Amino acid sequence: GVEKGEVEEEEALSRMSTSDLIHGVISRLFDLLVRPPPARDGQGGVREEKRRGRTYAEVEEVKAMEAVMWHAWLPRLRVVMMQKWEPRNEKTTAVVSALLSTYDGIIPPSIFGAVTNQIVLPRLQAAVEAWNPTVERIPVHAWLHPWLPILGTDALSTLYPTLRHKLALALSAWHPSDPSAISVLSPWKGVFDEGSYRALLQKHIIPKLKFTLRQLDINPSGQDTKPLAWLYAWKGVIGDVEVAKIVADELMPRWLHTLHYWLTTSPAYTEIAEWYAWWKHAFSAGVVRYMRMRVYLVCALDMMNTRLDSPDGSVPYPDVEYMMAKAEADTGRGRGRGRGDG
152 falls within a domain: yes
The string of DSSP letters for 73-121 reads: IHHHHHHHHHHH--TT-HHHHHHHHHHHHHHTTTS-HHHHHHHIIIIIH
% of the chain surpassing 70 pLDDT: 78
96 falls within a domain: yes
State yes or no: pLDDT of 200 exceeds 90.
yes
CA distance 103 to 109: 10
Cα Rg for the chain, rounded, in angstroms? Answer: 32
205-218 tens-digit pLDDT: 999 999 999 999 99
More confident residue, 207 or 90: 207
57 falls within a domain: no
54 falls within a domain: no
State yes or no: pLDDT of 342 exceeds 80.
no
- Whole-Å CA distances, 204 to 85, 208, 213: 34, 7, 15
pLDDT reported for residue 76? 81
233 falls within a domain: no
48-60 tens-digit pLDDT: 444 455 565 656 6
Neighbours of 90 (CB within 10 A): 13
Pick the most confident of 30-44, 45-59, 171-185, 321-335.
171-185
pLDDT reported for residue 48? 42
Q: Average pLDDT, stretch 36-52?
A: 42
- Helices 148-156, 90-103: inter-axial angle, 10-degree rounding: 100
Residue 104: domain span: 73-156
- Whole-Å CA distances, 1 to 7, 51, 137, 156, 229: 10, 58, 21, 33, 44
CA angle 10/11/13 to nearest 5° reads: 65
| Tally of domains in the chain | 1
pLDDT reported for residue 158? 94
Long-range contacts of 335-342 (CB under 8 A, 24+ apart): none
The backbone torsions φ and ψ at residue 197, rounded to the nearest 5 degrees and listed phi first, read -65, -45
The string of DSSP letters for 215-249 reads: T----TTS---HHHHHHHTTHHHH-HHHHHHHHHH
108 falls within a domain: yes
209 falls within a domain: no
CA distance 288 to 280: 8
More confident residue, 289 or 62: 289
128 falls within a domain: yes
- Cβ atoms of residues 235 and 286 within 8 Å: yes
Q: Tell me the three state secondary structure of residue 31.
A: helix
Report the b/e string of 232-248 with b at 16+ CB within 10 A. Answer: bbbbebbebebbbbbbb
Per-residue confidence band for 30, with pLDDT thresholds at 50, 70 and 90: very low
pLDDT reported for residue 337? 53
CA atoms within 13 A of residue 196's CA, in its CB half-sphere: 16
More confident residue, 308 or 67: 308
- Enter the pTM of the model: 0.75
CA distance 229 to 283: 10
Q: Average pLDDT, stretch 117-139?
A: 93
State yes or no: pLDDT of 340 exceeds 50.
no
Per-residue confidence band for 238, with pLDDT thresholds at 50, 70 and 90: very high
